Structure 1
């Protein structure tokens, strides 16, 4: 099973499978998203879910309760639970 993740405004898309973070799933498909710590603390990868369901894989990622309610996530420690659209302005493909 996999879900399709589309990034706005670039239109880049990739498949995300359960058990794989959104950040890693994107990298597997040649998509570069901002990142640094990869453990949910630095907030470099912070982005917003526009559509779909995404769940954090750790109990307390570096996102406030208010930010979570507004759809903000950390894709380094989050997985898709459905097809999703994410607002990731700085996303790019490995090949430019």
Structure 2
């Protein structure tokens, strides 16, 4: 995974959410509920494919079409570039 515009990179293993992979490797992304309802972690996919681990996460159909994802309940299906401007390296 690459966070666009930040130089941050991290890898996810199969079955690991984007949020969990980021945290495991020292990349902090905003989050609260970690179950797809609060939308605090919402960001956009610039390139690549992800799939949500729940049938209907807290996104509208329009948001999904526009490339918005919830990293707390999304897994990578390819190399992914995320537009997540609030992501940062852990201190």
Superposed pair shares fold, TM > 0.5: yes
Question: Which TM class, normalised by the smaller chain length?
Answer: over 0.9
Unmatched tracts of structure 1, length 5 or more? none
Deviations 1:33-67 (A, max 9, x none): 01000000000000000000010000010011110
Secondary structure, counterpart of 1:37 in structure 2: coil
Moved over 4 A (4+): none
The structure with the greater share of residues assigned to strand is 1
TM-score by length of 1: 0.93
RMSD of equivalent CA atoms = 0.6
Unaligned runs of 5+ in 2: none
Q: How many residues align?
A: 91
Residue in structure 1 matching 2:26, options 13, 27, 30 = 30
Q: How far has the Cα of 1:8 moved from its partner?
A: 1.5
